[in-house]
A = this chain, B = another copy of it.
Amino acid sequence: MRDVAKLSGVSISTVSRVINSSANVDIATRIKVEENIKKLRYKPNLLAKGLRIGSGNLIGLLVPDAMHYTFASFISYIEEYVTARDHSLVLGSTNNNPILEEKIVEDLIRRNVDGIIFSRVSDQSRVMRILNTTEVPVVIIDRTFPNEEIPTVALNNEKAGELAAEHLAELGHTAIACITGPMNISICRERLHGFVTKLKEYGVTLNERYIFEGNFKHESGLKAVNHFMESNLGITALWAQNDLMAIGAIKGFQSKGIRIPHQVSIIGMDDIELAKIFIPALTTIRQPFREMCENAVKMLLRETNESKKIIVEPTLSIRESTSRLGEVGATSEG
């Protein structure tokens, strides 16, 4: 910067003004300075700038597992929106390790980030402490904490359950089961509640024997099928609260010679890439991840008036793994 100033015969303050396109600078000097910036390949130092203005021009993103589909989506979309706003993204993966999470958050704060996006934060109180102890804006994405005033963007999980219920009920099913995620996670309870409630509207009651608590992994689907088969409930339709478990369930049924969707209709949730590719292609509840991420970034950067909770709506994606009760599905079982 000094070199540019010297070469241009001006002071560094003028160079600074040129860089920040300040109004009050003579057009001639501006051009000269800009030329010399190019000539000297001068690149303003963001650390110095950040130190001075008290902002690192960074957004922090914390996820529990960067490889998982949901979070990989978040990372990808948030990076896109953050970069478009001339910020950079620093990414931390916590693996649900509170110590690590703490360390990363501390690091972010020390970097003067302009905000932090938490996805599936491990512990509500931790976030609260950060919020109370620093000025750094925080928004939580994907999971909601009902009793707090933390800015949040989340899915309407009730609605997700309702959509699944509606679809299955409309297809004529009455013996319907559900594989949930871990029930200590609120989104899972909300999803189930919506599912049960809507089903009741159709006159079908989902008692506990039709509910299997999974862990969001593929294996849960297999286990659930074994469980349901042993119970001999004669179910003809099933909703799994994520696609991985739905696919596990399909495999489980198929390995017992049961055809999908001919004998059992299955619906998932998330709409992972695999959902389209799998045979049969998976009917599923789609989450608008992109929209969620955009809202999170906008909220963080105060681009929107909404500063508390933004709820986005799921949609139903009908493919091949569900069919009308008693009817053959649209495709072969593969």
Question: Is there a chain B Cβ closer than 8 Å to A309's Cβ?
Answer: no
Question: Is there a chain B Cβ closer than 8 Å to A133's Cβ?
Answer: yes
Taking CB atoms, residues of chain B closer than 8 Å to A279 are: 251, 254, 279, 334
Instruction: Please tell me which one of the listed residues B79, B332, B334 contacts residue A92 in the complex, with CB atoms under 8 A apart.
Output: B79
Interface residues of A in 39-61 (CB under 8 A from B): 41, 43-48, 50-51, 56, 58
Q: Could you tell me the distance in whole angstroms from the C-beta of A102 to the nearest C-beta in chain B?
A: 12
Question: Is there a chain B Cβ closer than 8 Å to A304's Cβ?
Answer: no
Interface residues of A toward B: which range?
35 or more
Contact B274 A47 (CB under 8 A): no
Q: Would you list 19 pairs from A and B whose C-beta atoms are within 8 A, ordered by A residue? A: A43-B109, A46-B112, A47-B50, A66-B76, A72-B75, A75-B75, A79-B93, A83-B104, A88-B92, A88-B104, A88-B107, A88-B111, A248-B277, A251-B277, A251-B279, A255-B332, A274-B274, A274-B277, A334-B334
**Closest chain B residue to A84, Cβ basis:** B100
Q: Could you tell me the distance in whole angstroms from the C-beta of A332 to the nearest C-beta in chain B?
A: 8
**Closest chain B residue to A332, Cβ basis:** B255
Q: Which residues of A contact B (CB under 8 A)?
A: 41, 43-48, 50-51, 56, 58, 65-67, 72-73, 75-76, 79-80, 83, 88-93, 100, 103-104, 106-112, 133, 218, 244, 247-248, 251, 254-255, 274, 277-279, 332, 334
CA distance A219 to B84 in the complex (A): 31
Taking CB atoms, residues of chain B closer than 8 Å to A72 are: 66-67, 72, 75
Contact B83 A73 (CB under 8 A): no
**Closest chain B residue to A80, Cβ basis:** B93
The count of identical subunits is: 2
**Closest chain B residue to A257, Cβ basis:** B332
CA distance A104 to B89 in the complex (A): 10
- With contacts A72-B75, A83-B92, A83-B93 known, what are 4 further pairs, Cβ within 8 A? A47-B51, A47-B111, A67-B75, A90-B91
Taking CB atoms, residues of chain B closer than 8 Å to A100 are: 83
Taking CB atoms, residues of chain B closer than 8 Å to A47 are: 47, 50-51, 56, 111-112
Taking CB atoms, residues of chain B closer than 8 Å to A103 are: 83
Instruction: Please tell me which one of the listed residues B76, B107, B110, B133 contacts residue A67 in the complex, with CB atoms under 8 A apart.
Output: B76
**Closest chain B residue to A219, Cβ basis:** B277
Contact B89 A91 (CB under 8 A): yes
Contact B66 A107 (CB under 8 A): no
Query: Which one of A56, A91, A92 has the highest number of Cβ atoms from chain B below 10 Å of its Cβ?
Result: A91
CA distance A48 to B45 in the complex (A): 12
- With A50-B47, A279-B251 as contacts: A93 and B112 at CB distance below 8 Å: no
Taking CB atoms, residues of chain B closer than 8 Å to A278 are: 278
- With A72-B66, A80-B93 as contacts: A110 and B44 at CB distance below 8 Å: yes
